[in-house]
Chains A and B, each alone.
Chain A
Amino acid sequence: MKCKAARKLLIDHLGGHLDPGDQRELAHHLETCSACARFWTGARQTMAAVTPVQPVRASADFKERIMKEIALSHPLPVSSPPVSSSKSSADRVIHRAGLSKPVWIAGLAALLLLAIPLFDLLFFPNPESGRDRAAAGLLARAWAAEQDLFSGEGVVYLVNEILVHPVNNPELAGIRWLPMATLQASGQMQMNQLRLPAGPGESYRLSDTALYDPPTGRFMRIVQKDDQVIFATSYDGKSVFTFQPGEAGEARVVKTPVAETFQAPKDPAGFLGIGAGFQSRIDEQDATRVQRLEDTTLADGTPARVLRSTLPAPEGTPESYVLFRIRQDNDTIAEMEWMAAGEPLLLFRRIKTSTLEDRGIHWDLSEIDTQAKPAASSPEVVPDVVIPDVSVEHMAEKADFAAYIFSATPAWTQRRVILDILDIASPPHRMFALAYPAQDKRHVVMIQAVTYNQAFGGLVKQGTLIYTSPNGFKVWSTPQDKMGAMIALQSLRAVIQDAPSENRTGYILESPAGTFPALAVNGPVTDDELHGLIDSLVPVKNAE
């Protein structure tokens, strides 16, 4: 190798570029040519003279700042650490209870339904309704602390995660869902269903990011599984944005300028807070259902109180309750876990609470990533899990089974409200709830559903026939009457307001068409009153 070629290669090497073949030749040349060796030393010294040694690095929080900034236009997915799978005991409990699976599933679905405080928003957008800040009790304080998060200065920035726990029972694993509310441009709340399907033993987590600007009511909520946006809604002060999954898996964002009737969310904590849509109100009417368990320590080392709020469940079905883990340092809810049969089904966990400056937040969802195609069994949003206050015509059109309605409003009640609800245990069938609020609190509720029609046939066999009407209706009394009435009345709290009374009455009806409506009255009824009610039942298709 000539010296000229060798020196060229040596400089190339300083430039970070040298072929292995050249390297060998060069090494050989340097061993034999002292002039080039001196050149090499000099070149390296030169390089060293212009190479900085003072470290210049990005600040420690540089990446975090960037990720935060992009989170505002595209919230971050939460990484998915492995979740240990535990063996389900639900099967055993179901068998011990001797209940057929549809009833058990329907019961759970009903429990979820009755845990929807957002029903309040549908009817009575009053932030104080059902929430007594003065009420003693740790849970009340925790809810108050949650509400406080949504006041004050700056934009509230919360990230929660929703963990779908592994459950071995296939039906139970697949039945989980959450209500997801969207505020329409008219100001009407739309209630959607976020299905959280999972195979047996399968688990995953969703991130649930919320932003809220207290003075203007601007908000954003985005639910993601990894990078895939599953649900998104926002309000930028002028328009509402909704994320609508398309038929082919392609999603789009719809922007609608708000109408004059539009109002920002009245209960931002219920709309955007932890477990939004899953906050149980059971604790408020019956303090005996809330129990304090032994304190615990959260993953970050913070001491936490543990409260257990038991959900009412039909006798014989597995016990179901919500565990609240409440941070002792600031009384906020760190975790909410829905347990059934001693096993966790869903966990809501707060992973970030902070306040941002308003500057630069993209309330406009137009730039959100709509590319990702959802996998076949991924969570999805089904619109209109509840449509409040529909007409008789609507009910007649949508009911795909023989449905009935009272031809006249019961004498002691004042008005009628019909709700069109997704039959969660038998989708896509719709179920219909008739509610007749009464001034004397003896509200009347009747619920008709395909799930009930399939499940209650067995139940009435254990019951007593107490009346057969001239129009062919049978009234059955079963050991589950009180519990059934509790669930029916509780499900419609938003309409009837009052908590289920101790002396409530419940029956299962059997229609001439073989369907099984559930009837509940929030108080005692005389035989005459009951007979009057049943006699006035007419098929909804013939009504009016």
Chain B
Amino acid sequence: MNSLIAVDLVKELDAPPAVTDEAWTRGWPQTAREFEALVEAFQDRLVRFAFRRLGHRQDAEDAIQQVLVNVFLHRIKYRDVPHVTAFLYRMAANACVDAARKRGRRAEVSLEAIASREPVDGIPSAASETAAREEFRRIETWLAVLPRRQAEVIRCRVFDELSFADIARIIGRSEATVKSRFRYGLLKLKKKILSEGEVAK
């Protein structure tokens, strides 16, 4: 094989695993200052997580704000709960389900209506929000070819940048199961994407 490509591949392997967010190892915050650090560490990730489930930034932020405030108000109760990251995501997932249900009762808001909504102070423009939503939709189209469980593990990995261990804790399965779902899902996806690539050519 071409040795240049091999060098490239090896370099790629040398790079640390693509976990962009720092792992949270500090336990549940008990003081306002610790809490602020937690918010800082998780706000983007959790808002992204909720955004892809709710499709709207304001709804996503509202849901996550509620989750984080609850974390602080009930910090004594949570003090002994292990695995902060996994538990936060589980709470976020529940909050998204609740929010989606409430919105369902209010009548579904169309994507077009969301896109044309006025940007609110401090919130990035509707245009960038629309671009993000379009991208999610495109990715979801790929993921639609997968069994639900495999798709969910891949979402957790690519959207939420969660480790296999955390995903395992969130969905309540073993790490081996999570890995195998990721592996089979990715292989299936690879087949699909590469073959469509061929077609496109």
Contact = CB atoms under 8 A, between A and B. Distances in A.
Interface of A: 8, 11-18, 23, 26-27, 30-34, 37, 40-47, 49-63, 65-67, 69-70, 73-74, 76-77, 79, 226-227, 367, 371
Nearest to B190: A46
A67 B36 contact: yes
A57 B46 CA distance: 9
A46 B186 CA distance: 7
A58 B40 CA distance: 10
Scoring A50, A54, A367 by chain B CB atoms within 10 A of each residue's CB, the highest score goes to A50
Interface of B: 1, 3, 5-6, 9-10, 12-14, 17-19, 30-33, 35-36, 39-40, 43-44, 46-48, 51-52, 57, 61, 64-65, 68-69, 72-73, 76, 121-124, 128, 131-132, 134-136, 139, 142-143, 154, 157-159, 161, 163-164, 179, 182-183, 186-187, 189-190, 193-194, 197
A221 B51 CA distance: 37
A66 B17 contact: no
Contacts of B182: 11, 15
A27 B143 contact: no
Nearest to B132: A54
Contacts, number: 165
B32 A74 contact: yes
A50 B183 contact: no
Contacts of B33: 77, 79, 226-227
B143 A52 contact: no
A30 B123 CA distance: 45
A30 B190 contact: no
A18 B17 contact: yes
Interface SS of chain A: helix
A118 B61 CA distance: 44
B157 A46 contact: no
Given A41-B9, A58-B47, 15 more contacts: A11-B187, A13-B17, A15-B157, A16-B17, A16-B164, A42-B194, A46-B190, A49-B142, A50-B154, A54-B134, A59-B123, A73-B73, A79-B33, A226-B31, A371-B76
Given A52-B159, A371-B76, A27 B32 contact: no
A49 B193 CA distance: 8
A76 B158 contact: no
Report, nearest first, the 4 A-B pairs whose CB atoms are least far apart.
Answer: A34-B1, A16-B17, A58-B43, A54-B132
Nearest to B158: A51
A7 to B, nearest CB: 8
Given A59-B124, A73-B73, A74-B72, A12 B179 contact: yes
Contact of A58 (B17, B64, B161): B64
A31 B1 contact: yes
A252 to B, nearest CB: 15
Nearest to A371: B76
Contact of A17 (B36, B65, B163): B163
Nearest to A224: B32
Nearest to A79: B33
Nearest to A34: B1
A41 B3 CA distance: 15
A37 B9 contact: yes
A66 B40 CA distance: 11
25 contacts: A15-B164, A16-B163, A44-B12, A45-B193, A46-B190, A49-B139, A50-B142, A50-B189, A54-B132, A55-B128, A56-B44, A57-B47, A58-B46, A58-B64, A59-B57, A62-B39, A62-B43, A63-B39, A66-B65, A66-B68, A66-B69, A67-B39, A70-B72, A227-B33, A367-B73
A46 B187 CA distance: 9
B7 to A, nearest CB: 8
Scoring B32, B135, B189 by chain A CB atoms within 10 A of each residue's CB, the highest score goes to B32
B109 to A, nearest CB: 18
A64 to B, nearest CB: 9
A8 B51 CA distance: 31
Contact of B186 (A11, A73, A79, A226): A11
A53 B163 CA distance: 19
B73 A30 contact: no
Contacts of A23: 13-14
B132 A55 contact: yes
Contact of B194 (A12, A46, A58): A46
A66 B3 CA distance: 53
Contacts of A44: 12
Given A12-B179, A50-B142, A62-B61, A57 B48 contact: yes
A8 B19 CA distance: 19
A77 B163 contact: no
Contacts of A50: 139, 142-143, 154, 158, 189
Nearest to A74: B32
Contacts of B158: 47, 50-52
Contact of B179 (A17, A47, A49, A69): A17
Contact of A46 (B17, B35, B136, B189): B189
A292 B31 CA distance: 43
A65 B136 CA distance: 27
B13 A13 contact: yes
B194 A56 contact: no
Given A42-B194, A45-B194, A47-B186, A76 B32 contact: yes
A17 B44 contact: no
A52 B136 contact: yes
A54 B143 contact: no
Contacts of A31: 1, 3, 6, 9-10
Given A23-B13, A55-B132, A46 B193 contact: yes
Contacts of B14: 23, 27
Contacts of B128: 54-55
Contact of B13 (A30, A52, A61): A30
B111 to A, nearest CB: 15
B191 to A, nearest CB: 9
Contacts of B43: 57-58, 62-63, 66
A13 to B, nearest CB: 7
A15 B179 contact: yes
Given A14-B186, A16-B157, A46-B193, A227 B31 contact: yes
A227 B182 CA distance: 43
A60 B122 contact: yes
Contact of A70 (B17, B35, B57): B35
Contacts of A61: 121-122
Nearest to B131: A54
B5 A37 contact: yes
Contacts of B19: 16
Nearest to B122: A61
Nearest to A35: B1
Contacts of B47: 56-58, 62
B9 A40 contact: yes
